[in-house]
Amino acid sequence: MTDVTLEPADDRKAKRNVVILVTAQALLGAQMPMIFTIGGLAGQALAPNPCFATLAISAIVLVSMLSANPMSWIMQRFGRRAGFWTGTAGGSLGAAIAAYGLYQSSFTLFIVGSAFTGMYMSAQGFYRFAAADTASDDFRPKAISYVMAGGLVAAIVGPQLIKVTADATVVPFMGAYVAIVAINVIGSLLFLALDIPKPPVPSVDAPRGRTTWELLTTPTIAVSITVAMVSYSLMNLVMTSTPLAVVGCGFDQSTAADVVSAHVLAMYVPSFFTGHLIARYGARKIMATGLVILAGAGVVGLQGVDIENFFIALVLLGVGWNFGFIGATSMLAGAHEAHERGRIQGMNDMIVFGGVTLASFASGGLMNCSGGNPQDGWTAVNLAMVPFLALAGAALIWLILRPAED
């Protein structure tokens, strides 16, 4: 089944929108590697118990999950622009509250600010779907891939901004959160140029589409959501623990930022050709390749805690996420109709970030409370990947083995 766009596909318009969304991914997206690098370290300094070090990051992904359906409804009712502005408003407010929490040495305020940041994370997740709204069937996987590639700039800018801003104030890390406020304010102006029509209000006799249950039990949709959830959850599980592991194993914060930077680069550099690979080989093969690469990241992570292990494991983690997540997004985008978009896209992100939330909560506990040292914690984090990879792999094999007509 192919997606029915709101109007005849015009790839010239789609390409203009992609440029805007790529820029937004690059500028606004820089706040996410910043937060994921310093969130655990700042939380560790404020938390009453080291097992709660990554609670702030968990709050981000939890609110991102809870915001997915409301954000999708806002975009379905008022358009993409309104949803994206809601996200930047949440990002600005969240960073401001988190900065004040650091100033007051308040772990509670820091968590509250992080929770508001989840609104931005949820909105950013819809950039990839927005890229597909006005694209033709042929251009759709490329449009999604190009928008994800915007994270390449974010991967470079975000960690470097940490080096400039993290110690710019007397209170450690507060300067980084002030910079994130500015990023959201400036970046929100980009959406003034976005040209995606609002979905029409359905008439009384308009097709209602499949029910939510029918959508979720459609094999292609079910497997795409499963692979997206596992790819994103495992990426978050390992990445959240990485700064704690790197610093805990004797390296400094700058090195931890470099490892995260390499990881985020690996997440987005492949996006320049992932869409072409999907168009040539199909989403299923690219998703399968992503799962294999994620497994490779876990194997390398288990081999030791030398800095080379961290870099190689995190690079593989980024590439595996890219193939698995973009492949799943492309398959989902072609499996529903336009009038089903608001429900299934919101439901998809709620399920995906539900898994990410659980992974984030587990990350701090596995890292800081498994065994007696950081190396034991890092081993526990990498072993935790196994059952989820088995789940996604089994789901994808099941889909491939189904009769072609399904």
Give the model confidence (pLDDT) of 138-148 as tens digits.
Answer: 888 888 888 88
pLDDT band at 206 (very low <50, low <70, confident <90, very high): low
Torsion of CA 277, 282, 285, 286, to 10 degrees: 40
| Mean predicted lDDT score pLDDT of the chain | 87
Q: What percent of the chain has pLDDT over 70?
A: 93
Q: Give the domains, in start order, of the chain with CATH numbers.
A: 11-196+210-401 (1.20.1250.20)
pTM of whole model > 0.85? no
Q: Per-residue pLDDT tens for 72-93?
A: 889 988 999 999 999 999 999 9
What is the structure's pLDDT at 202? 60
